[in-house]
Chains A and B, each alone.
Chain A
């Protein structure tokens, strides 16, 4: 490995690891250089070790398992499970056969769920963060209240929503049917077609405060002078949002939208608490689907293969997303 000075510097990089610093000290150059090169790795070491232990190594295990026929007959001694080559993958991608068809259905449900949930969460988060950028009476308390959904243990929040969505005795139907008379009879929210929407509503409720929090923090990094200068130039508030706020939020948004997408796509808590181990067909999220394949029906090989496919899909989406957004960002910078 060529151990020369850093190959590239970030555009705005200062003379952080520059040669001037090395020259100033009276230490031998070699030691100094080693220290300089070793330091970042040392800083990364704890993170790397933790990720290796909890994520990377188990994932390798998971990939190995996906090539095995690891059913209940073998879990007692999983190493003895026979290799099944690509059988698990073949079963998962044959979309005209029941297992593949069910997986594909689950995939579409999850995609729709994720797009809706992330879209609304982002929208609400942005709206609230921008509207609350300025001080006004009650802002502090309101901010705290908006963070409540995030502060509640997921289970508590989800079980409360489930309680509210009950067909006969829930608040939602009480309001819609008994009080506002919007519906002619009480709709079902936890089974059937509406279960999908119930899940989306709960998911937005749970995740928008996070978007709010992240964007609020992002807004605080925008220098006031920018707004002042814009105001001097006669830019209206709407123009300020468009010209200053939104572009300044782009780095935050880039990450925020991506992680919201990834979390929501992998969301397990919401369907699990709302529907138990068997989600309605219309709300069969992929995480629950895989959970059923692995933990309920004890076919870990098949479950792992589905997980790996899911992982590949998410990797692809992320790569494309980052390529697109980073290029745009570069254009904007230029």
Chain B
């Protein structure tokens, strides 16, 4: 026994030495990032290679590569800067960013979901876009203000620049509506009444993505906003279980629970089955963001459906009560640790230039956050015009607080479990909703 304890101490010592050795090299490794000012000289940008992490916007990662490569080639021609492109699926993107943030070794330029902006901003991993940086890409005023508001916490320099914008709209099946003699609903009451009429023979009025946490909170956010309620107070503290928020979540879950205008099966949807149901005529309505490309991929043509703003509690509501969508979209950020800051900024400038905005948003079916590009013919289709209207007047940014990801996880999962209750025939009451939200709130960090 004595020998084994000696050697276990030896083992521990070895491990410790190894660990210390690594820590020391860690200090040495991270010190070589300021590599001279001449890199900012435009002439010397030539020949630099930067890495760009793009998110999945198209029908596949490969499709994204095909869309982006010719554009990036244009950039290389113009500036002499080479771009190493990597398209990363949504399942991996946040983890990769996180790992990059922790280690300081990452891409130079990257796409982020705009709801992550404040969280990533708090980590200090992203370069803040101050006035000077914005001037270099043509000024903050080029961008829609709602998009800028979704690029970081209020009162701080944005952590990213808007790249693609999206908004929620109510998509409806024209034929099913005209067959039933209906017009698109403007209030929730109308939506439920219409939904009930459309729900028959295996068809449903509405499809919802019940097991998708992000979708759940996007809708819970809007429904709460329409009641003048927020999920965080001004100090950033969680206020999940206020009566208005409980009512908002209950209203959403009730589409399955008591209104029964959405199929019970929707409770387990998490892989965009909503779009499938809508495009195949199983559901007459859905609330989705910029769905044109996906709907088309499912074989439904643009003339078969219409898009109107998501309903409000009372017709013609304005202000918070008139909010019908969160500001959805993708932002473009520069990694704080980049050794090619000027080249990275040049790429951002290129990607947000008016011509590129037209090409990229046109291809992806999203809306350009750059105002100048919005007038392009590509964005004048009826559905995109509706969504642009929503984005311009009735969309609000999701809470830009560092703990947004906890909010998304905890509340998203709570709503998912409530949907599961509803689908299993268990009653969903004010009390059960409040209990679920209180529990979520208690698990939020204090700050």
Q: Is chain B found bound to chain A in the same assembly?
A: yes
Q: Is the CB of A61 within 8 A of B19?
A: yes
Q: Is the CB of B98 within 8 A of A75?
A: yes
**Distance of B211 from chain A, by nearest CB (Å):** 6
- Interface segment among B122-130, B163-171, B246-254: the answer is B122-130
B:242-288 near A, CB below 8 Å: 263-265, 267-268, 270
- A42: chain B residues within 8 A (beta carbon): none
Query: Contact string, B402-434, partner A, CB cutoff 8 A, digits 1/0?
Result: 110110010011001101110110000000000
Q: Is the CB of B443 within 8 A of A277?
A: no
- Interface segment among A205-213, A241-249, A256-264, A289-297: the answer is A289-297
Select which of A7, A72, A99 is within 8 A of B443 by beta carbon.
A99
Select which of A72, A166, A186, A280 is within 8 A of B416 by beta carbon.
A280
Q: Is the CB of B442 within 8 A of A98?
A: yes
Q: Is the CB of B443 within 8 A of A276?
A: no
Chain A, Cβ-Cβ closest to B216: A278
State the main secondary structure of chain A at its contact with B: loop
> Taking the complex as formed, is A157 at the interface, i.e. its CB lies under 8 A from any CB of chain B?
no
Select which of A76, A102, A295, A296 is within 8 A of B124 by beta carbon.
A76
Chain A, Cβ-Cβ closest to B416: A278
A186 to B7, CA, bound (A): 60
- B122: chain A residues within 8 A (beta carbon): 72-73
- Interface segment among A52-60, A116-124, A132-140, A232-240: the answer is A52-60
> Taking the complex as formed, is B22 at the interface, i.e. its CB lies under 8 A from any CB of chain A?
yes
Given known A-B contacts A298-B405, A299-B445, A1 and B3 have beta carbons under 8 A apart:
yes
Given known A-B contacts A75-B123, A188-B267, A295 and B423 have beta carbons under 8 A apart:
no
- B267: chain A residues within 8 A (beta carbon): 167, 188, 191
Query: Contact string, A273-315, partner B, CB cutoff 8 A, digits 1/0?
Result: 0011110110000000000100111110000000000000000
Q: Is the CB of B19 within 8 A of A60?
A: yes
**Distance of A22 from chain B, by nearest CB (Å):** 21
Q: Is the CB of B16 within 8 A of A277?
A: no
A133 to B124, CA, bound (A): 62
A:84-133 near B, CB below 8 Å: 97-99, 102
Q: Is the CB of B268 within 8 A of A166?
A: yes
A54 to B365, CA, bound (A): 45
B:80-122 near A, CB below 8 Å: 94-95, 98, 101-102, 104, 119, 122
Q: Is the CB of A192 within 8 A of B424?
A: yes
**Distance of B325 from chain A, by nearest CB (Å):** 23
**Distance of B127 from chain A, by nearest CB (Å):** 12
**Distance of B240 from chain A, by nearest CB (Å):** 12
Select which of B264, B402, B412, B442 is within 8 A of A278 by beta carbon.
B412
Size of the chain A interface, CB-CB below 8 angstroms: 41
Select which of B3, B211, B443 is within 8 A of A98 by beta carbon.
B443
State the main secondary structure of chain B at its contact with A: helix
Select which of B265, B270, B420 is within 8 A of A276 by beta carbon.
B270
> Taking the complex as formed, is B25 at the interface, i.e. its CB lies under 8 A from any CB of chain A?
no
Chain B, Cβ-Cβ closest to A101: B439
- B322: chain A residues within 8 A (beta carbon): none
- A191: chain B residues within 8 A (beta carbon): 210-211, 267-268, 416-417, 419-420, 423
Q: Is the CB of A296 within 8 A of B123?
A: no
**Distance of B241 from chain A, by nearest CB (Å):** 12
Chain B, Cβ-Cβ closest to A2: B3
Q: Is the CB of B406 within 8 A of A297?
A: yes
A191 to B268, CA, bound (A): 6
Select which of A61, A76, A275, A280 is within 8 A of B123 by beta carbon.
A76
Select which of B104, B119, B265, B423 is within 8 A of A192 by beta carbon.
B423
> Taking the complex as formed, is A190 at the interface, i.e. its CB lies under 8 A from any CB of chain B?
yes
Given known A-B contacts A72-B402, A191-B211, A167 and B268 have beta carbons under 8 A apart:
yes
> Taking the complex as formed, is B15 at the interface, i.e. its CB lies under 8 A from any CB of chain A?
yes
**Distance of A301 from chain B, by nearest CB (Å):** 11
> Taking the complex as formed, is B297 at the interface, i.e. its CB lies under 8 A from any CB of chain A?
no
Q: Is the CB of A72 within 8 A of B270?
A: no
A258 to B122, CA, bound (A): 43
> Taking the complex as formed, is B14 at the interface, i.e. its CB lies under 8 A from any CB of chain A?
yes
Select which of A61, A188, A299 is within 8 A of B420 by beta carbon.
A188
**Distance of B12 from chain A, by nearest CB (Å):** 9
> Taking the complex as formed, is B6 at the interface, i.e. its CB lies under 8 A from any CB of chain A?
yes
Q: Is the CB of A97 within 8 A of B409?
A: no
A52 to B22, CA, bound (A): 12
Given known A-B contacts A76-B101, A167-B268, A278-B412, A190 and B443 have beta carbons under 8 A apart:
no
- A295: chain B residues within 8 A (beta carbon): 94-95, 98
**Distance of B22 from chain A, by nearest CB (Å):** 7
> Taking the complex as formed, is B131 at the interface, i.e. its CB lies under 8 A from any CB of chain A?
no
> Taking the complex as formed, is A71 at the interface, i.e. its CB lies under 8 A from any CB of chain B?
yes
Q: Is the CB of A292 within 8 A of B409?
A: yes
A:53-84 near B, CB below 8 Å: 53, 56-57, 60-61, 71-73, 75-78
Q: Is the CB of B423 within 8 A of A277?
A: no
- A193: chain B residues within 8 A (beta carbon): 424
Q: Is the CB of A52 within 8 A of B268?
A: no
**Distance of A49 from chain B, by nearest CB (Å):** 9
Q: Is the CB of B102 within 8 A of A76?
A: yes
Chain A, Cβ-Cβ closest to B282: A168
> Taking the complex as formed, is B317 at the interface, i.e. its CB lies under 8 A from any CB of chain A?
no
**Distance of A68 from chain B, by nearest CB (Å):** 13
**Distance of B156 from chain A, by nearest CB (Å):** 14
A75 to B210, CA, bound (A): 32
- B417: chain A residues within 8 A (beta carbon): 191, 280-281
Chain B, Cβ-Cβ closest to A279: B413
**Distance of A44 from chain B, by nearest CB (Å):** 11
- B210: chain A residues within 8 A (beta carbon): 191
- A56: chain B residues within 8 A (beta carbon): 15
> Taking the complex as formed, is B213 at the interface, i.e. its CB lies under 8 A from any CB of chain A?
yes
Query: Contact string, A164-202, partner B, CB cutoff 8 A, digits 1/0?
Result: 001110000000000000000010101111000000000
Instruction: Give B residues with C-beta under 8 Å from A.
Output: 3, 6-7, 14-16, 18-19, 22, 94-95, 98, 101-102, 104, 119, 122-125, 210-211, 213, 263-265, 267-268, 270, 336, 402-403, 405-406, 409, 412-413, 416-417, 419-421, 423-424, 439, 442-443, 445
5 new A-B contacts, CB < 8 A, other than A76-B124, A188-B420, are: A57-B18, A188-B424, A191-B423, A192-B420, A298-B123
Closest 10 CB pairs of A and B: A98-B442, A191-B420, A168-B265, A278-B413, A192-B420, A297-B406, A76-B124, A190-B268, A167-B265, A191-B268
Instruction: Give A residues with C-beta under 8 Å from B.
Output: 1-2, 7, 52-53, 56-57, 60-61, 71-73, 75-78, 97-99, 102, 166-168, 186, 188, 190-193, 275-278, 280-281, 292, 295-299
10 examples of A-B residue contacts, CB within 8 angstroms: A56-B15, A72-B402, A75-B123, A76-B123, A76-B124, A76-B125, A188-B424, A191-B420, A297-B406, A298-B98
